[in-house]
A and B are shown apart, each in its own frame.
Chain A
Amino acid sequence: MSEHTTYKTSVKPVWCPGCGGFGLLTALTRQVLPNLGIPSKATFIVSGIGCSSRIPAYINTYGLNSIHGRAIPIAQGAKLTKDNLTVIAIGGDGDFFSIGAGHLPHAVRRNIDITCIMVNNFVYALTKGQISPTTPRLRRGEGSFLSLEHYPPVDPILDIVSYSASTKASFVAQGIATDVDHLSYLLEAGIRHKGFSFISVLSQCATFNAPGMFDQIKKNATYLKEGEPVQMPAGSEEAGWIHDPHDITLALKLAEAPLLEKPHLGIFFQGNELQ
């Protein structure tokens, strides 16, 4: 457990019991950073605002818990002026897909070597349960939505992974906070990848998710393996194709799968690395 003590600070997380944030924190401090052997001093973690954005205080590297939606520009500024740093931007679905959505496509086209981790818990939890751009529209009768005080979403979701794949980020992956080993593997691959990496982390909000929603995601989730057939949503007529993470067309096809019906976990796309 020595790595654990090295990478974790003594600050106690503010998260609710059962929060997906713990999965990400464990992945980063127990596996990713020790496995990659990146020294703490050469790592910079910058976040936005939201539950997951509290994470810099808990990891013993250089860190900044910045302002809502702005982790990506700050991350790029650090990387551009000190190239030997490992720079990780962490935020939630509100951060990266609502208030800060304008920064993401530009980070993608610049392809600066930073890793963007989007913790998607489908809700604004820090402000107590408002809808986010990724809150799914469940059908009537599927249970109360978020908390009772809030209205259900009226607009379709912005699908994070299909968005990232469509902008051709040089590395696109999706993990789940409840499978720390697999998430760690994705994070390591993303950080190692030279270029802009985008990793979506499906994360449960123990307090505000619609009942059963995350269980459904977990139940339907399947893993992508290079060279093996892709699992299709239940009831799909289409046969699964062979997964090739170097083919952007297939990545876009993967991203089209409705998240609640078929959450794919793994590397969607990995393009050429920077020289």
Chain B
Amino acid sequence: MKKNLTIGVAGAGGDGVVAMGSLLQRIAAAEGYFSQMPRYYGAQIRGGGSAVKLGLNADSPSLPGDTLDIIVCFNWQKYFEVKQELHLGPETVVLCESEPPVEISLPKASFHIEFTEKSQQITGKTINKNLVALGLLLDIIGFPPERIKEIVEADTDLHLVKDHWDAVTAGIQLSANLDHRDLILSPPQDKTPKVILHGNASIGQAAIDAGCRAYFGYPITPAAEIMQTMQKELPRVAGVFLQAEDEIASTGLLIGAALTGAKPMTGTSGPGLDLMTEMLGLGVSAEIPMVIVNVQRCGPSTGIPSKSEQSDLNHAIYGGHGDAPRVVIAPHTVESCYRLTIESFNIAEGFQVPVILLSDQWLGQTFTAVASDSLNQTYPIVNREKPAQNETTEYHRYRLTENFISPMANIGDDGLMYRTSGLTHNQDGAPAFDAETHNTLHEKRWRKLLPLCKRNDLVLNLGNDKSKRGIITWGSTAQVIRDAISFLGIENDVKVCVLELIYPLPENVATFIRSVDTLLVVEMNYSGQLFHYLKSQTDLPKHSEVYCRPGGRPFSVKELSEPLRKLAQ
């Protein structure tokens, strides 16, 4: 019995690879298994290679393993395009349609199976070969046919399996002739059905729950699913959706909407954030609450649009001219995508400031089965402070208050008309060109954010609190760190700090840094952006190192084991 299984499926576009992976993931989630399923594509839009890697977990969520336990391969030529992601080991059980090319030497337990022929024979079509393979896989991992039938009957999204039950049954029967090691998945620790979604959908759902009723965006990989989610969901809550002509416009639309009292959001990736930067400056200057999601991909410029990287941190923190403080938040799991989206809206509203939520391609697009209660927890919702009733006689939009946050009227409010500007402005929002007003305005915008440094709850601490060896990381990389620590069994030897609120930096991050002798920062970018940012914020221990490299390939447990082992020694 296995607590974790990693299953790969590879083929050409049209082989039904993603559909098959999704069906398997959905059936397993109904049974209570956690899982993650990244997808891999070739460079072409259609006709390239297509692959998924599904990691199933019986106990606690973890990433798919570095090496596959099982692979279904429909096409070895296409497998070459994704072979770095779908690694075969000596123990991998291979189920393939054709003989591999000479470059690939197959492991011992490799079986030649005519999925296509079986599909033709049973259903009269070759197209159901993925369902034949699905049946075979389900049997190998120990799902009894009658239980699969029950699950499929109860879920209309699994109708494909129900409609072609004969193909699935044929696959189940193929299993009898195969002789391989035990690949039965242990019963799940918690049998509650799990919900499948990716970070992008999670962010969209959270935005709706946070009260976002206006979304403006421009299509970009790998953030397009946020826009799709909002396009679908907003009409159901009487919200406004518009696909803008570019990212400058989408962020401009955000500002217009925010001024009327709406809580607006846009989603983009690095190249879009470039264009949004001028509006970001206006948002900071005029103190506009708005949320910008950046699902990071490989850069610079067009880079590798479909692959993950953590290289927009500098831009998120510093991007734009003229000392413009904003808030930067980074989720590290699909669950935290949800929670931190709501937090982003709360901070944007509470502090009248643009918030950048820095997700990444791995988080954004990996289908993940999560506990359903992580998405329907109720979080407190913050709305911007409105002027008091008696303020109408003499309303000053940028009145200096003790906490530097000025009550904000909505356009349309009676008696509170104000003008604002990206120009340096006085308490009424009127242009001002004197150094004193300029300085006061800077102080207002910077100092209002200082209470965020007390948000120590927006830092996740793992490992042994007493340890003198610390790891700081952020984003999806945190998941690999978690799995690598568990793989190495060094939970008691190190402690980990996962940053959620990155800018401004919570105080306990400096406390964490002061409490260790040796510090390792792990991030996916060439130059060590987080490492240099931390250096700018506080003194680092003498033994401080960064493990960083550009994206293009996810971190594996094996890769991160080396620097972690070194740290723990």
Residue A258 CB within 8 A of the other chain: no
Please give me the residue from chain B that is nearest to A106 by CB atom.
B245
SS of B interface (majority): mixed
Our pick among A54, A76, A84, A110 for the contact of B256 (Cβ within 8 Å) is A76
Asked whether any CB of chain A lies closer than 8 Å to the CB of B246, the reply is yes
Q: Please determine whether A57 and B256 come into contact, CB atoms closer than 8 angstroms.
A: no
Question: A44-B411, A102-B245 given as contacts; is B417 within 8 A of A76 (CB)?
Answer: no
CB-CB under 8 A from B250, the residues of chain A are 73
Contact between chains at A73 and B214 (CB < 8 Å): no
**A residues 7-51 touching B (CB-CB < 8 Å):** 9, 11, 40-42, 44, 46
Query: Looking at chain A's contact residues, is the secondary structure mostly helix, strand, loop, or mixed?
Result: helix
Interface residues of B in 399-422 (CB under 8 A from A): 410-422
A85 contacts B245, C-beta separation under 8 Å: no
Q: Which residues of B contact A61 (CB under 8 A)?
A: 417
Q: A41-B412, A60-B417, A102-B246 are in contact. Are A67 and B278 (CB under 8 A)?
A: yes
Least Cβ–Cβ distance between A183 and chain B, in angstroms:
22
Contact (Cβ within 8 A) B255 A81: no
Interface size on A, residues (CB 8 A): 37
A65 at the interface (CB under 8 A from B): yes
Minimum distance in angstroms from A188 CB to a CB of chain B: 21
B249 contacts chain A at the CB level, 8 A cutoff: yes
Interface status of B480 (Cβ within 8 A of chain A): no
> How far apart are A126's CB and chain B's nearest CB, in angstroms?
12
Minimum CB–CB distance for B103 against chain A, Å = 50
The smallest C-beta distance from A159 to any residue of chain B, in angstroms, reads 22
Residues of chain B at the chain A interface (Cβ within 8 Å) = 213-214, 216, 240, 242, 244-246, 248-262, 264, 278-279, 281-282, 286, 410-423, 430-431
Do B411 and A78 have beta carbons less than 8 Å apart? Answer: yes
State whether B419 touches A77 (Cβ < 8 A).
no
Which residue in B411, B418, B419 is a CB contact (below 8 Å) of A82? B411
Q: A11–B430 contact, CB under 8 A?
A: yes
Q: Shortest distance in angstroms between B249's beta carbon and chain A's nearest beta carbon?
A: 4
Q: Which residues of A contact B (CB under 8 A)?
A: 9, 11, 40-42, 44, 46, 54, 56-57, 59-67, 70, 72-82, 84-85, 102-103, 106, 110
Q: Complex: how many Å from CA A82 to CA B411?
A: 9
Q: Give Cα A102 to B245, complex, Å.
A: 8
Residues in A neighbouring B214, C-beta threshold 8 A: 77, 80-81
**What's the Cα separation between A127 and B280 when bound, in Å?**
24
Nearest-neighbour CB distance to chain A for B175, whole angstroms, equals 56
The closest CB in chain A to the CB of B244 belongs to A73
B151: min CB distance to chain A, Å: 43
CB-CB nearest in chain B for A39: B414
**Distance of A77 Cα from B286 Cα, bound (Å):** 16
* Minimum C-beta distance from A44 to chain B (A): 5
Residue of A with least CB distance to B421:
A65
A66 contact from B254, B255, B413, B416, Cβ within 8 A: B255
Interchain residue pairs A-B with the least CB separation, the first 10: A77-B256, A73-B252, A77-B253, A78-B256, A63-B419, A73-B249, A82-B260, A65-B421, A74-B256, A106-B245
